[in-house]
Amino acid sequence: MIRAIRTGDCEAIAAIETQIFDTAFDCGRLLNFMKTRAFCGFVDDANIPNTAHKLNNLDMPSNLAGYLLAMITVDEAEILSIAVSAEHQKCGRGERLLDYFLAYTAAQDVKVVFLEVAADNVSALTLYHRHGFAEFGRRPSYYKRTDGDCDAIMMRRSSD
Ligand SMILES: CC(C)(COP(=O)(O)OP(=O)(O)OC[C@H]1O[C@@H](n2cnc3c(N)ncnc32)[C@H](O)[C@@H]1OP(=O)(O)O)[C@@H](O)C(=O)NCCC(=O)NCCS
């Protein structure tokens, strides 16, 4: 089930960040984000079924399958990170997290959502295109990799 992030989630998120990204947010950085007014995050807790009422399950241990972290400033949002742990990928969890966040931002009257993605990240690009994101800029050779540099693609999704 998708629920709002809690401080107790930060260690598990940091572990997934390290598993997946070359440049990962560590636990301290995540805790600092949570002190920021603009910060907004959702986690997909695999221990809580979608049908459960979340208030009945607050004491269950978490099993973090994925998360989405963002900043919302007035009517603009930026997705800082979205990830699903390797063992939970390709089951629709990434899509559900993005859908949930876009519904949340729509309810907050957010007009535009920004994100940045590596040009070779086919799974993420497919997901974003399907949800109405379009490229509006590139940072050439932004990601330095041992097997060659990779552009960063900047994407945006407008609500109108
Ligand atoms: C990108 C990511 C969040 C997608 O989450 P996921 O739970 O694996 O994706 P879903 O199962 O919800 O799939 C949603 C859609 O994404 C696309 N997709 C997912 N994995 C894909 C892959 N390996 N190749 C191509 N398309 C893929 C498909 O369009 C899929 O729709 P479909 O099921 O109808 O084919 C996940 O792969 C991930 O965490 N990747 C590593 C972190 C990352 O790259 N984050 C984005 C940084 S900008």
Average of pLDDT values for 114-141?
97
Q: Where does the pLDDT of residue 41 fall: very low under 50, low under 70, confident under 90, or very high at 90 and above?
A: very high
Least confident of 9-23, 54-68, 80-94, 110-124: 54-68
- Is 53 inside any structural domain? yes
In a shared domain, residues 23 and 84: yes
- Res. 54 pLDDT band, cuts 50 70 90: low
Q: What is the mean pLDDT of residues 117-138?
A: 97
- Do 120 and 57 share a structural domain? no
Query: Into how many domains does the chain fold?
Result: 2
145 and 76 housed in the same domain: no
Atom 4 of ligand 1, nearest CA residue: 94
Please indicate, yes or no, if residue 80 is contained in any of the structural domains. yes
Pocket test for ligand 1, best of 21, 80, 127 (most atoms within 8 A of CB): 127
Q: Region 53-63: what's the mean pLDDT?
A: 60
Domain hosting 83: range is 1-98
- Report the residue among 84, 113, 123 best suited for mutation to probe ligand 1: largest number of ligand atoms under 8 A from its CB: 123
Give one DSSP letter per residue of 83-141, joined into a string.
EE-GGGTTSSHHHHHHHHHHHHHHHTT--EEEEEEETT-HHHHHHHHHTT-EEEEEEEE
Q: Is residue 136 part of a domain?
A: yes
The pLDDT tens digits of the residues spanning 60-88 come to 667 899 999 999 999 999 999 999 999 99
Q: Is the CB of 100 under 6 A from ligand 1?
A: no
Instruction: Report angle CA 104, 86, 129 to the nearest 5 degrees.
Output: 45
> Do 29 and 85 sit in the same domain of this protein?
yes
Q: If pLDDT is split at 50, 70 and 90, which confidence band does 48 have?
A: confident
For ligand 1, whether the C-beta of 99 sits within 6 Å is no
Confidence of residue 98 (pLDDT cuts 50, 70, 90): very high
Check whether residue 117 and residue 58 sit in a common domain.
no
Tally of CB atoms within 10 A around 115: 20
Domain C-terminal end among 75, 98, 121: 98
